[in-house]
């Protein structure tokens, strides 16, 4: 169910909203092989009415299932927007549609969550990637490299006869 706010509830002052939005309701349109959102978005927000606008402040959290782009290992990560704030205009050119005194806040949550998605997820900052091993082929003069050996760019250049 999307996050719908009835503006009449703000007449008595600030409002606290807390709950979850299923990923299907967020309609993020993600077709990424390495980042998947399957669990609901959790929100904990304070909403107050300003002059002709709403101010949302609080926390957003979305658990993600990722695949490391270096070693292809599956891992979980959580997008946490702790000091999240959003200004939602109620009047003017960029005003949010108001239907029966209700406003859908879901697009504002979705936009900021999508901006936080990892572009190149890594299982750890020092991930070394897939182990590099080569098959020995004596007829081609190739040899097996030890699993812990680091390939050197200088090694290839040292072999050049200039």
Helix (H) or strand (E) holding 76: strand 74-89
Contact between 74 and 33 (Cβ < 8 Å): no
| Cα distances (Å, whole numbers) of residue 75 to 34, 43, 113 | 10, 23, 19
**High-pLDDT (> 70) share of the chain, %:** 88
Q: What is the pLDDT of residue 146?
A: 55
Neighbouring residues of 120: CB distance < 8 A, sequence distance ≥ 6: 69
Q: What span, in angstroms and rounded, lies between the C-alpha atoms of 83 and 116?
A: 13
- pLDDT tens by residue, 58-89: 999 999 999 999 888 999 999 999 999 999 99
Span 21-48, pLDDT tens digits: 988 888 877 777 888 888 899 999 999 9
Task: Give the start-to-end residue ranges of the domains of the chain.
Answer: 4-116
**For a pLDDT cut of 90, what percent of the chain falls above it?**
27
Q: Which long-range contacts (CB under 8 A, 24 or more apart) does 17-20 make?
A: 17/43, 17/44, 17/45, 17/46, 17/47, 17/58, 18/43, 18/44, 18/45, 19/43
Stronger pLDDT, 148 or 72, i.e. the higher one: 72
Position 135 scores a pLDDT of 52
pLDDT at 136 over 60: no
Q: Is the pTM of this model over 0.75?
A: no
Average pLDDT, the chain: 83
CA angle 95, 96, 100 (to 5 degrees): 120
Question: Is the Cβ–Cβ distance between 77 and 66 less than 8 Å?
Answer: yes
């Amino acid at each position: 169910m999307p996050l719908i706010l009835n503006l009449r509830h703000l007449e008595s002052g600030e409002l606290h909203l807390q709950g979850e939005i299923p990923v299907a309701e967020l309609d993020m349109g993600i077709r990424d092989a390495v980042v998947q959102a399957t669990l609901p978005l959790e929100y904990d927000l304070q909403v107050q009415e300003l002059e002709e606008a709403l101010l949302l402040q609080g926390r957003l959290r979305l658990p993600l299932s990722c695949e490391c782009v270096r070693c292809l290992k599956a891992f979980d990560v959580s997008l946490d927007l702790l000091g999240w704030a959003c200004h939602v205009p109620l009047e003017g050119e960029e005003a949010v549609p108001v239907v029966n005194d209700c406003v859908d806040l879901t697009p504002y949550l979705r936009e900021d969550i999508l901006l936080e998605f990892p572009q190149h997820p890594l299982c750890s900052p020092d991930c070394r990637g897939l182990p590099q091993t080569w098959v020995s082929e004596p007829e081609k003069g190739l040899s097996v490299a030890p699993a812990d050996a680091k390939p050197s760019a200088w090694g290839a250049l040292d072999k050049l006869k200039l």
